[in-house]
Amino acid sequence: MTLKTVKVRLLTIIAEAVLRDRLVEELKLAGASGYTVAEVHGSGFGTVRASEWAGPSVRFETVVTDEVAQALLAVLAERYFPSWSVVAYLQDVEVVRAERYQPSPSLSPPRPKKG
Amino acid sequence: MVLAFALGAIAVLVKSDLRIPDGMYQGMSIYLLFAIGLRGGGELAETPLALVWRPALVTVLLGVATPLWVFAILRWVGRFKGVDAAALAAHYGSVSAVTFTTALLFLEAAGAKAEGFMPALVALLEMPAILVALLLGRRAQTKVASSSVKLGEVVREVVVGKASLLLLGGVAIGWLSGQHGVEQVAPLFLAPFKGVLVLFLLEMGMVAARRFQDFRKAGPFLIGFAVVMPVVHGALGVLLGQAAGLSIGGATVLGTMAASASYIAAPIAVRTALPEANPGYYVTASLAVTFPFNLSLGLPLYFAIAKLAFGGAT
């Protein structure tokens, strides 16, 4: 038997280690239901890394609805892309249990403006 | 010990496959910072307050003043952007814990042991320096203001960032439990200390050598600055240390502290709070120029200055 799958979005964010905690907050605020984070190695050619002590870069993966993904990309574009090394990309993925990746209503208020 | 640093640098230059794992690098940093703190705290508990307050005062003074003129020099003589000048001020105002530790051991070997409470002073120099520099940076930043971070977050980063937390926490624990308490953990925190430091210097050699290729981006002014500024700060630190009643060893260490440029706490604080500043300047200058310079030529130089300043008094 084939399980019925639903299309949702996979957002991958690769960022400097110093952004780790802040990105978790952004994911929560945007209404992602969860995330996976891994430490990864790599570098843009021609960029200079700030600190070994902060640790290797981090890669976040989160399966979300298209609205949440777009909202997150907008936040990244507004607040993170200009100043930090951040790469983000979006893919279509199919999952069983689509309800699992819906933003829970309590978690997705309109984004409060932070300073 | 400098030889371990050189070996690390050579390993990178000949493209050896030697690579210290991330976890180990982080682990050694944590160990070193905590051990330095414990050591200093233990000795602090034995020291009467009357001996400590004057060195502590000049240290804080140094921490507040050095970023101000570093910023001014870079901004108006070096024609750097405000955020870059501030980022460099944060580095040159603060302390490199490894340079500091190497200085302690160097002086022990030279028979001029520094006061035991010196590690407590590291925290006193580091925090005001980074704070003052970041405040300067924020003023320069207001025109950009795209991603500015709240002031509270900056202070938080400086005070409870992992480097300060370990160092201060170590001092506090050492102080509370006294010399006797510290002796109980000596087999782990004191005995293998030098060995770990040597291993760490090996890694630092590799880290620094990987930065050598960024030299070109830094420009001749900055490279000159990264050598001259430590010498000026070093001499100043030695003289202030002497004035505050430190021994010849203690004054040399204070000079080294003033001369060194942080590469643990400062880069993280700067990257978090002043992301517009170019790491090509501050990391390259502090790690690839000032750090090796202090280890090799700086230390003996500051010691010589101290000997001169103290005259025949020792």
Gap between the Cα atoms of B54 and B121, Å rounded: 11
Q: What is the pLDDT of residues B263-301, one digit of tens each?
A: 778 888 888 888 888 888 888 888 888 999 999 999 999
Check pLDDT > 50 for residue B55. yes
A85 touches B at CB < 8 Å: no
Q: Looking at this predicted complex, what is its ipTM?
A: 0.75
Specify if B60 maps to a domain: yes
Q: What percent of chain B has pLDDT over 70?
A: 95
Distance to chain A for B217, nearest Cα, Å: 10
More confident of the two residues B212 and B143: B212
Instruction: List CB contacts (< 8 A) between A115 and chain B.
Output: 148, 150
Instruction: List CB contacts (< 8 A) between B275 and chain A.
Output: 83-84
* Residue among B278, B281, B283, B239 nearest B258 (CA): B239
Gap between the Cα atoms of B122 and B125, Å rounded: 5
Nearest neighbour of B268 by CB, restricted to A39, A51, A79: A51
Specify if B81 maps to a domain: yes
B26 touches A at CB < 8 Å: yes
Q: What is the pLDDT of residues A25-41, one digit of tens each?
A: 999 999 999 999 999 88
Specify if B193 maps to a domain: yes
* Residue B138 structural domain: 21-213+263-279
Residue contact B267–A54, C-beta within 8 A: yes
Gap between the Cα atoms of B117 and B179, Å rounded: 12
- Give chain A's domains with CATH numbers: 6-43+55-97 (3.30.70.120)
A90 SS3 class: strand
Gap between the Cα atoms of B188 and A76, Å rounded: 44
Specify if B203 maps to a domain: yes
Angle at B240 between CA B120 and CA B80, to 5 degrees: 85
Residue A111 has φ and ψ, to the nearest 5°, of -55, 125
Specify if B177 maps to a domain: yes
B101, B197 in Cβ contact below 8 A? yes
Specify if B313 maps to a domain: no
Specify if B298 maps to a domain: no
Q: What is the pLDDT of residues B74-122, one digit of tens each?
A: 998 988 888 899 999 999 999 998 899 899 889 988 888 888 888 888 8
Check pLDDT > 50 for residue B14. yes
Residue contact A49–B278, C-beta within 8 A: no
A61, A11 in Cβ contact below 8 A? yes
Specify if B7 maps to a domain: no
For the whole model, what pTM was predicted? Answer: 0.83
B271 touches A at CB < 8 Å: yes
